[in-house]
Amino acid sequence: MTSEWHGRVYGKTGSGTVALSGRTGADLPTQPGVAPDLVNGYTDVVIAESGDGLTAYQTAG
């Protein structure tokens, strides 16, 4: 698990990123295909695997 926001749980697996409903465990879409390390109502922040940088995405919805 990398983060959680309003019942959506984000994580990373060997096959890629995943988002799940915290209530049902059902798969949810991960746009734009990343699992954020930090998230709020406006922005998702992803820390680079190398730890050398950050990328911010506008929160969907």
At 27-46, the pLDDT tens digits run: 988 766 788 889 888 888 99
Report whether pLDDT(10) > 70: yes
Q: Looking at residue 24, what is its pLDDT? A: 95
pLDDT at 61 over 60: no
User: What is the reported pTM?
Assistant: 0.72
**What pLDDT is attached to residue 22?**
92
Per-residue burial over 13-39, b = 16 or more CB atoms within 10 Å of its CB, e = otherwise? eeeebbbbeeeeeeeeebeeebbbeeb
Residue 32: the pLDDT is 62
